[in-house]
Homo-oligomer: A and B are copies of this chain.
């Protein structure tokens, strides 16, 4: 009888313990001091893991930061009952709360300083930045299906009108970031600003 083919590569497997220690230490540094203070050197010395071992998994400190965020995922957003408007406001409000934390600020900076092209950057964008936007998309699609909302608009633009302001304020800090923003955004979005024609 044929021998079972081994699915493993030859050689010593990568150390899971080292990987976890590195991701954890990186996360702590980023959260407490910011992405700018995350260096491979420091992670290596704090964890006792060798630098080459870290470089074997991540190409530079930005990648490591993204991986660290992805390894410590956000909790899921929960939706209360209510009208579509209320649902959307509640959702946006919780997203704002999440991103106005230190973690949110650091995530945004990390995204900004990363190379957009790399695979890891795309994964980070989708898993960490755009996950809530996808939740918003589902809400909108359900609202359309239920007939409470028009179906004629460009959904990508609408989504960005809801989530864009959040990151804009996070980056520039020109306006406060709180849940009343969620209400204003959704209110304006539903009603429009044009005066009602007679």
Q: Which residues of A contact B (CB under 8 A)?
A: 36, 108-109, 111-113, 116, 125, 129-130, 147-150, 153-154, 156-158, 160-161, 163-169, 171-175, 181, 184-185, 187-195
Contacts and interface: CB of A to CB of B under 8 A. Distances in A.
A165 B154 CA distance: 13
A172 B111 contact: yes
Nearest to A105: B116
A153 B193 contact: yes
A178 to B, nearest CB: 11
Given A36-B113, A111-B172, 6 more contacts: A113-B113, A153-B184, A153-B188, A161-B189, A191-B194, A192-B194
7 contacts: A108-B112, A113-B113, A153-B193, A157-B181, A160-B175, A164-B167, A190-B194
Contact of A171 (B36, B112, B181): B112
A43 B24 CA distance: 34
A112 B130 CA distance: 18
Contacts of A174: 125, 130
Nearest to A85: B194
A187 to B, nearest CB: 7
6 nearest CB pairs, A to B: A192-B192, A164-B164, A112-B112, A160-B165, A164-B168, A157-B184
B153 A160 contact: no
B192 A130 contact: no
Contact of A168 (B150, B168, B190, B195): B168
Contacts of A166: 164
A111 B116 CA distance: 17
Contacts of A187: 153
A185 B153 CA distance: 9
